[in-house]
Structure 1
């Protein structure tokens, strides 16, 4: 559902011309007064920062109509049943974004009412402490606190790099054995596309130019790919799971391809007229 007013008896749908007054009021009330926030979710400030940056994308300023359109699209994708509730959440998000100094409201001027993005770099991030997620401010701190935060980040980056490097080395022997097992089960195996793909859950496990290459040709590259790409330890774990799966199904894949080849005729019969034409060319 959306921020737009529909025809009588119809569902509210994005793209209609008139803003629905109930949704406007729900947005304005939450924008003014706020609602659920850091008192309910300890990582709330980080969630607000994340969502605001996602909404703005490459834009630096959004007008009221832009906000309506973006939230209408999001509500439609999520099959929101109650537009007023959805728009109360939208107003609540902008309320806290203004409070945190992430955006600034502007009225009048060339573009009318809207909100300017103040910080494109995240000011708040989610931090896990004691088994729960909290929000930690990483930018916009007083000078002494900011310097301490930079030192903390440097220490954390160094520790992360060390743990990732150890995880990569610890996986070397198993990765080499699994590549050999894949080839033993399927000598004709090639690198699948998804090994080089990235998504929200993991980084690529092999270079982007490798898919489609025979594994017997690129086995040395596969054995070293996790080092070449400096993959983090969580991706190393996923890479091992992927290789174990590939080794497990390799014999079945090879047997299926061999059966398909055996089912093909050894040669195709040439129609008489084509054979006669071919004979004339010889």
Structure 2
């Protein structure tokens, strides 16, 4: 790629050595990331709704924990440092306040926190850019609702098609996991995707196999893809466990053989 066509890499050196609360406050105030991304308001909206779930308010520490759970679900950001994560979370909070998704809500003890104002999405992505879909003037809102209803019907059809495509792929990956590790348990990262009842009642992959294959049906396409990716990543982990087990068994067998040889040699003395 020509040098003039490369985007400069962001510089995060200003985060090094600074207290996390200072980084968080600065990110909230500045909203430095996302201003040049046409889809970012919708991305921030989606991330915040995912982080809050059924909760109405999150304090500072809870917000960091909620983002850590989001990282588990998406697989993105697992290697981020604490300062960078504080910067990311503060940036999301800043955008949430700016877009009217969040409002300041101090706790009874004065601890800083934020209340989720809008539980339904205010923004989505259309033709490569974010657009406001709720809170519009009456006439605009009626027209938007009609357009979204048409798009929702189309998306539901595409989601059903994606589910049909992914089901055999997920089944193949689950079979590969069991081939490598027949006693595999449902891994912790999967619990963010599944109803709590599944790992509670059927904790092993073998027991829950059919439910795991079908779990993604009815989900949006991006969530389906995330689940399929989580299952695919576990194949590598299962293979690593298999290789480690084989090496341990080989080492144990070699040690037993040496003991047998030593015993024979001793008896021959």
Q: TM-score, normalised by structure 2?
A: 0.48
Higher helix share: 2
Q: Which has the larger radius of gyration?
A: 1
Structure number with the bigger relative contact order (C-alpha 8 A, sep ≥ 6) is 2
